[in-house]
Amino acid sequence: MLDINSELYRKMYLIRMAEENIRVLYPDDQLKTPVHLCIGQEAIAAGVIQPLKEEDQIFGTYRNHGIYLAKCGDTNRFFGELYGKQTGEFRGKAGSMHLSSPETGFMGSSAVVGTTIPLALGCSFVNQQKNNGKLTAVFFGEGATDEGVFWESINFACLKKLPIIFICEDNDLAIHSKASERQGYKSITDIISKFDCRTFKSESTDPEVIANITIEGINHIRQEGGPVFFHLKYYRYLEHVGIDEDFKAGYRSRNEFERWMAVDPIKLQREKLLNKGLSEESIQEIEKTVLQQIENSIEQAQQAPFPANSELFQNLYV
């Protein structure tokens, strides 16, 4: 059993290296699914999910690899799904963009911006009615706050005091459009705080900081009722969809990237572990285990069969 900081590092390293492997494998054209990589963003997935209980439920977006691996962690079903194989989480029907893991509480993601936000309302309502203590966390990009459904959902969650953590992951971009080109206000948290909703904001890439905010949010929900709203900044290292850098496109500068690279979450957390006295060998042991897991899962996925043609019509109706 790893201590909290080692576990946070392991989770982030798993996410980072799973995606770095996707970048290596993608040119082979065997992963026939659009990928929205979350490299640079790992501290949010790891930090928010770490303090949640196993039975708590989450929702995400098409940029979901991080929260899948942090919540579920099963790289066999993960790579199986990306390869479109029978062994995938959903036998290849979901691919990257609609990946989730209902058995481990990752209840859904979607490829249409904002669409899982109201699902968190219904999910959370059930938990409130059954008084089962489960929390719902919904991750969405800042671009989703442009959508009407976001405001409808915040309003309803506040009205019913639903036990939801809204996690607004802000890289300033809705695909390639900056917030300043889309919004008639300066601060989303200022506005949300006018609802009956406690807000938190952070620009930290330290998963321990994010985890502590989450613990504070959870305590607030337990004591005062929900919901709570997190505004978390990060930087998307790669293009919106795909495996490459896109600084040459001209809509953002490499300088900006380098400023964020200086506080890269994986790098910071590794340094933190060393500072806390964990040996280089122990860290390498964690890394080796993760890399071996990924390698095994990729090999298994590559060798797995595709689903039978009859699968096309399976699960259309119950």
Partner 1 sequence: MTQILSYREAINLALSQEMERDPNVFVYGLDVPDHKSIYGSTKGLLEQFGSGRCFGTPLAEDAMTGFALGAAINGMRPVHVHIRVDFLMLAMNQIVNMISNFNYITAGKLTVPLVIRAVIGRGWGQSAQHSKSLHSLFAHIPGLKVVMPTTPNDAKGLLASAIRDDNPVIYLEHRWLYDITDEVNTEPDSLLPLGKPYSLRKGTDLTVVATSWMNVEALRAAEIMDKYHGVSLEVIDPRTIAPLDYEIIFQSVNMTGHCIVADYDWLNCGFSAEVAARVSETCFKSLKYPVARIGFSTTHCPTTRPLENKFYPNAIDIIRKTEEILKLNPADLSNEEFYTYENKFKGPF
The residue ranges that bind partner 1 (CB under 8 A) are: 57, 59, 89-91, 93-94, 98, 100, 102-103, 107-108, 110, 112, 115-127, 129, 148-149, 152-153, 155-156, 159, 314-318
Residue with smaller CB distance to partner 1, 96 or 214: 96
Rounded to the nearest 10 degrees, what angle do helices 42-49 and 265-275 cross at?
60
Q: How far is the CB of 231 from partner 1 (least distance, A)?
A: 20
Q: What are the E-state strand segments in the chain?
A: 57-59, 106-108, 136-141, 164-170, 173-174, 177-178, 198-202, 228-233
Residue with smaller CB distance to partner 1, 86 or 293: 86
In degrees, to the nearest 5, what angle opens at C-alpha 97 toward C-alphas 91 and 103?
55
AA letter at 143: G
Element (H, E) at 7: helix 4-25
Contacts (Cβ under 8 Å, ≥6 apart) of 97? 33, 34, 36, 62, 64, 109, 110, 111
For residues 79 and 49, the answer to whether their CB atoms sit within 8 Å is no
Residue with smaller CB distance to partner 1, 41 or 110: 110
AA letter at 291: L
For residues 67 and 106, the answer to whether their CB atoms sit within 8 Å is yes
Element (H, E) at 14: helix 4-25
Q: How far is the CB of 51 from partner 1 (least distance, A)?
A: 21
Residue with smaller CB distance to partner 1, 134 or 201: 134
Q: How far is the CB of 315 from partner 1 (least distance, A)?
A: 4
Reduce the secondary structure of 125-180 to three states and give it as a string: HHHHHHCCCCCEEEEEEHHHHHCHHHHHHHHHHHHCCCCEEEEEEECCEECCEEHH
Residue with smaller CB distance to partner 1, 129 or 180: 129
Residue with tokens 């969405």: 140
Residue with smaller CB distance to partner 1, 77 or 236: 77
AA letter at 16: R
Q: How far is the CB of 156 from partner 1 (least distance, A)?
A: 6
Residue with smaller CB distance to partner 1, 130 or 248: 130
Residue with smaller CB distance to partner 1, 9 or 59: 59
Q: How far is the CB of 195 from partner 1 (least distance, A)?
A: 13
Q: How far is the CB of 317 from partner 1 (least distance, A)?
A: 5
Q: How far is the CB of 300 from partner 1 (least distance, A)?
A: 18
Q: How far is the CB of 21 from partner 1 (least distance, A)?
A: 24
